[in-house]
Homo-oligomer: A and B are copies of this chain.
Amino acid sequence: MANRFTRAALAGDSDVTSFDQLHDWVRQRRAAYRFEVERIRFDQLVGWHRAPSTGNLAHDTGRFFSIEGLQLRTDAHPEGGWSQPIINQPEVGVLGILAREFNGVLHLLMQAKMEPGNVNVVQLSPTVQATRSNYTGAHRGQAVQYLEYFIGPRRGRVLADVLQSEQGSWFLRKRNRNMVVEVTGDVPVGGDFCWLSLGQVQRLLREDNMVNMDARTVLSCLPFTAVDTDGDGFRGALQRSIAGWPYERHTLVELISWLTDVRARRDFAQTPIPLNAVEHWVHEPDVIRHQDDRYFTVIAVDVRATAREVTRWTQPLFAPRSRSIIAFLVRRIRGVLHVLVHARVEAGSASIAEFAPTVQCDPANYTGAFAGLRPPFLDVVAGAAPERIRYDVVQSEEGGRFYHAEIRNLIVEVGDDFPLDAPDDYRWMTVRQMTELLRHSNYFNVEARGLVACLHSLW
C-alpha cells in the first residue's frame, strides 16, 4: 500500500494529464473566474450581525462561524496569557481527496477552487472542501460535487480518514476531517477538476501559492514510505527517514511521552469572552485591530464571483499583518534525516500543544520592545546559507477565512556541527515517525502538516 504512493510519487509525467496541460488548465480556470473582493464596513455585512451585548460577530442563522473573544491563561507566555479575537466554528468540515490508479500509477482528483482570500483567486484544492454548513445546505448553494464518496455508505477504499486541527492561533478548537478515498471505477470529471499523479502534485508543491492549505494537510496524512534507501547526500538521508531506517534518535513512546509532558506541565485555561472584552484591541467601522497594529486584523468583504456555490456574498475574514515564516530545521543523524519539531502551545488548541515547525512566527511581531521574545532558531533560518536551503516556497493559508495570508515555507538543512541536544520543547524525529503519528488526530498542527507534505516532495 505505502509502496504504491512511492511509485506514484516517483512516476514522472502522467499519462492522463501532462504537466503542460495541467498548467494550461490552471491558467484557464483562473481566467474563467471573474472575481471581485471589496472591503466593506461590518454594518454592510448581509446576513451577519454583531450581538449588542458581546460585540460577537455572528451569522444570523447561528451557523457557519462567529468571531468571538478568547482569554488564555498560560505559563507558556511571559506575561501569563493574553486575550484575542478568535473564530468559533464548532463543526467539522470535510477535506477529501479522491484517488484512482491509471496505468498502475496513483492519481488524485484535484479541484481548481476559488477562495475570496486567495492572492491569486484559484489554487488546487482537495476534491471536496466543504464545511458542514456547506454540505448540509445551510449555504443554500449548489450541492457539493463528489461529496458522496466521502460521506455516507462507502463507495471506495479509505486510505486515510482522521480529524486534524486547524490554525490554533485563529480558530477555537477547530478540526477538519482529512480523507483520501480510493476508487476503482470511472468517475465523471467536471471542468473544475483534474486527475494529477501524486508526482505531479508534489512538483506543484514546489511552486508558490499553487497547492492550497487544505490539500497540503490531506497530503500529509498519506501513508508514505520509500522504496529506495541507498541514495547519496540529502536525498538518501530523506529516503531512509521516510522508509523507517533502523536508526531513530528517540522511540515513538519517548516522543509521545515528551508531548504528553508539555501538555501536562503547562498551565493552560481557555475562557471564551465577549469580543468587546478583548483587551488592547480597537473596534473601528471596517476593522478590528490590535492597538499597536500587530498580529492580525478582522475585516469584512463583499465577494462577487462567477462560479461558486453562491455568486455573491459578504463575510468577515482574518487578515494577517505581514508574511509569516514556518521552517523545519533538518539534520542527518547517522545517515537518517531527522526533523527538529517544536511542541507548541496555541491559544485555540483543543489539545494544549501539538508538534509544530521548528520555527513558526511572523517576524514582524518581534521588533522593538518585543525583540527579546524572538523565537529560538529564527536567526538560524533567517541566516541560512543558500546551499543549506532545501525548500523555499510561499504557500497560502486557507482563503475562505484568511485574507492574503501568505507563509514562507522553508526547509533548512543544518550541518553536523549543529547541536543534537535540543532545548526542552524541541525534539528530533524521523519522517517515518511523523507518518506513523499522522494516522492519528492531535499530533501535528496544520502548519507542520503542510510542511511535511512539502518535505515529501523533495525526494
Contact, CB under 8 Å: B90 / A162: no
**B contact residues around A442 at 8 Å (CB):** 351, 441-442
Q: Known contacts being A161-B260, A256-B161, A272-B272, is A267 close to B91, with CB within 8 Å?
A: yes
**B contact residues around A270 at 8 Å (CB):** 90
**B contact residues around A253 at 8 Å (CB):** 158-161, 439
Q: Known contacts being A441-B442, A442-B442, is A261 close to B161, with CB within 8 Å?
A: yes
Q: Known contacts being A350-B351, A351-B441, A440-B440, is A92 close to B257, with CB within 8 Å?
A: no
User: A264-306: which have CB < 8 Å to B?
Assistant: 264-265, 267-270, 272
**B-facing mask of A406-445, CB < 8 A → 1, else 0?**
0000000000000000000000000000000001111000
* A176 CB to nearest B CB, Å: 8
* A38 CB to nearest B CB, Å: 31
- Interface: A163 (CB within 8 A): yes
User: In the docked arrangement, what's the CA distance between A270 and B162, Å?
Assistant: 21
- Interface: A94 (CB within 8 A): yes
**B contact residues around A175 at 8 Å (CB):** 263
- Interface: A254 (CB within 8 A): yes
**B contact residues around A269 at 8 Å (CB):** 90-91
For A440, the closest partner residue in chain B by CB is: B440
For A181, the closest partner residue in chain B by CB is: B257
- Interface: A177 (CB within 8 A): yes
For A164, the closest partner residue in chain B by CB is: B260
Interface residues on A, range: 35 or more
User: A88-112: which have CB < 8 Å to B?
Assistant: 90-92, 94
Q: Known contacts being A158-B254, A269-B90, A350-B350, is A264 close to B440, with CB within 8 Å?
A: no
**B contact residues around A173 at 8 Å (CB):** 350
Contact, CB under 8 Å: B163 / A264: yes
* A128 CB to nearest B CB, Å: 12
User: In the docked arrangement, what's the CA distance between A179 and B253, Å?
Assistant: 11
**B contact residues around A441 at 8 Å (CB):** 351, 442
Contact, CB under 8 Å: B264 / A92: yes
* A415 CB to nearest B CB, Å: 29
User: In the docked arrangement, what's the CA distance between A90 and B267, Å?
Assistant: 8
**B contact residues around A161 at 8 Å (CB):** 253, 256-257, 260-261
**B contact residues around A272 at 8 Å (CB):** 272
For A270, the closest partner residue in chain B by CB is: B90
User: In the docked arrangement, what's the CA distance between A151 and B270, Å?
Assistant: 24
User: In the docked arrangement, what's the CA distance between A158 and B439, Å?
Assistant: 22
**B contact residues around A94 at 8 Å (CB):** 264
* A398 CB to nearest B CB, Å: 17
* A107 CB to nearest B CB, Å: 21
16 A-B interface contacts by CB (under 8 A) = A91-B267, A91-B269, A94-B264, A132-B264, A160-B253, A161-B256, A161-B257, A161-B260, A162-B257, A163-B263, A163-B264, A173-B350, A177-B260, A177-B263, A350-B350, A442-B442
Given A91-B267, A158-B253, A177-B263, 19 new contacts (CB under 8 A) = A90-B268, A92-B263, A92-B352, A151-B265, A158-B254, A158-B257, A161-B256, A161-B257, A161-B261, A162-B257, A173-B350, A177-B264, A179-B257, A179-B260, A256-B439, A350-B350, A350-B351, A351-B441, A440-B440
